Each structure stands twice: as C-alpha cells, then as structure tokens.
Amino acid sequence: MRTRTVLPAAAAVLVGEYERHLRLERGLSEHTVRAYVGDVVSLLGFMYGVTAEDIESGVPPVEDGARELHELDVAELRAWLAGQRSSGASRTTLSRRAASVRTFTAWAHHHGALKGDPGARLVAPRPHRKLPGVLRADQAGEVMRASSAGAAQLDPVALRDHAILELLYATGVRVAELCGLDLGDVDFPMRVVRVLGKGDKERTVPFGVPAEAALRRWIELGRPELPDTQGGSVETALFLGVRGRRLDQRAVRRMVHDAVGSVPGAADMGPHGLRHSAATHLLEGGADLRSVQELLGHATLATTQLYTHVTVERLKAIHDRAHPRAR
C-alpha cells in the first residue's frame, strides 16, 4: 500500500487511526481491514492527485495544506468511483468500495475530521447476485463415499481429509473457521462444534453421525501419526498439516477442489461450494431460513436468502424437465 507513503502526514495519521478502529474496535478480519484501508488510501490518493508514477518514483509526501480533508465531498467520491469503473472494476467491486468509503466518512465525521458525511449521499450500483454453484445431494454423497474409501486405508492424511470434508458439508462452516478449530471446540456427546466466526462472533453448530465417526477416527488414529514439530508440546489445533502444525487454508482449498473434481458432472468448487451446498440442501430438506442463518453465521437474513434463489432455480429446472406442460 505504497500510496499511503506519499499522502500528507495528517491524512496518513488519520488512515492509521481508522485502521486501528477497524481492527480493535470493530474486530474485523485482517483481510477485511486490508480491503477497507486500501479503498480509503485509494480515495485519498485520488483526492490529493497522487499518481502511479508518484508512487513508483517515491516522491516526497504531498505537503499538508495543499488540500484539506474536510473539502472531501460527494462529487469527489462519485468521481473516484467513476475512475474505478473506467479502470474496469466490476459492479460488485464498485459496490464494495462504495460501502467501504461510506464507513470511513461516517467514522471521520464522528471523529471531527469531516464537517459532514458525504458518503451518506453516495449511491453505487447494486452488485449482481450470482447464484453459487452447488452439488446435488447424490453428488455430495459420492464425494463422501470416495473420501471414506481412501480413509479406510488408515493413512493419516486421508483420515484427516475425510474428516474435513464431512465436517465442512455437515456444518457449512467457512474454511477459516474450520482451520481455526481446536480439539476442545468439538463436543462429541452433544455432537456440536463451537465456531469463532467473523467479528469474533461465536456460534454452536451441530454435525451428524458420519461427521462424528470421521472426526473420531482422525483424532484417534490419524492425528497421532503426524510429526510433532512443537518441541514436545501438544498442538491444540483440531486439524494438522503434514509437518505437525495447524492446517493452512490453502491446503484445504486444494484438497476440496480435488475431491469434488473427482465426481463426474460436479461443479468446480472449493470449501465455499460445500458451504453453499450444505445451505441449499438444508433448505430443500425443510429447514427454515432463520435457522440456516444461525448455522451459517450470517449477519443478516438477506445473505441467507440468496440460497432460496438457488432452490427456486433448481425447482424450475426440474419442472421444465419433468412437467408435460412446461414448454
């Protein structure tokens, strides 16, 4: 984020304070903080006329007083977004960046850096809501059967991968949530797992008998076989990599992609696709929308409602194929 180095000192300080607010007071993830701060730095760079050439050449910071931050208005916000659109940013990206700067201007106004809140008047195009690719229930079953066959050889990695696939599909947890699980987060008598989600919000998610069996086999038979690289200390992570440390998200994504890709006709997907599939199958099985929202850890019901569109589309496809008067 080299743009920040050529901003006026006062603006750079404000960005630092905003970053601390997002991280410490809002409790946002590192990925979200980087995205929000990057958008604000881009906006301020546009406001102060910082060009790509300035950044590459390492020009001295813009002098304070060249422009005042309180001069930022909605016209400048719109011009910045227009420039983003001209550079090829998608509607989804524009919507996210508009939301990001609205958050910043509201915070800056509250802290006295802006006399008003220009972001409150900023309107961005609504993002296109793409229907997520999902597995059919029979395809999900085939993924689990193939994974179980591999785990039957009692190879530690195969046992781990089967437990991961079963847990991802059973609970719909995010890949970051899965990798953050500790042994103590699993309650076998209750068959639930305690998950720390976005914004450090904790929720309890149930899982079924197949996931329980796969987890027990991994913990009892597979996990002790992986090397201990912690100097004799016991690693608390539920899932370990081949070097004995907490499993990396990228390894999970590769494994899920390969496992699903082995099923003929299955959509190309990673862990998030299993999350989509779990939500869709829950709704198709009769679960109510509010319960699915709780299970997935969605902040708003509007996010969960996307899955109702998926089920409707699938019902329409079935109707078109099966009903004699569909066409």
Q: Which of 97, 160, 223, 275 is catalytic?
A: 275
**237 three-class SS:** strand
307 assigned to active site: yes
272 assigned to active site: yes
Exposed/middle/buried for 323, CB within 10 Å: 0-12, 13-18, 19+?
exposed
- Say how far apart CA 221 and CA 157 lie, in whole Å: 11
- Say how far apart CA 295 and CA 298 lie, in whole Å: 8
Residue 287: count other Cβ atoms within 10 Å of its Cβ.
13
Q: What order do you get walking across the sheet with 202-206 strand by strand?
A: 186-187, 192-196, 202-206
Q: Which residue has the tokens 């785990």?
A: 151
- Binning the chain into helix, strand and coil, the percentages to the nearest 5 are 60, 5, 35
Q: Which of 18, 36, 48, 307 is catalytic?
A: 307
Q: Which of 198, 203, 246, 253 is catalytic?
A: 198
316 assigned to active site: no
- Say how far apart CA 269 and CA 276 lie, in whole Å: 10
Q: Which DSSP symbol is given to 75?
A: H
Angle of helix 271-284 versus helix 156-171 axis, rounded to 10: 40
Q: Which of 174, 223, 276, 281 is catalytic?
A: 174
Q: Which of 23, 78, 191, 272 is catalytic?
A: 272
DSSP characters for 238-265? SSB-TTSSBPPHHHHHHHHHHHHHTSTT
- Extract long-range pairs of 232-239: CB within 8 Å, 24+ residues apart: 236/182, 236/183, 236/184, 237/179, 237/181, 237/182, 237/183, 238/181, 238/182, 238/183, 238/185, 238/186, 239/160, 239/163, 239/164, 239/178, 239/179, 239/181
Residue 76: count other Cβ atoms within 10 Å of its Cβ.
14
Residues annotated as catalytic are 174, 198, 272, 275, 298, 307
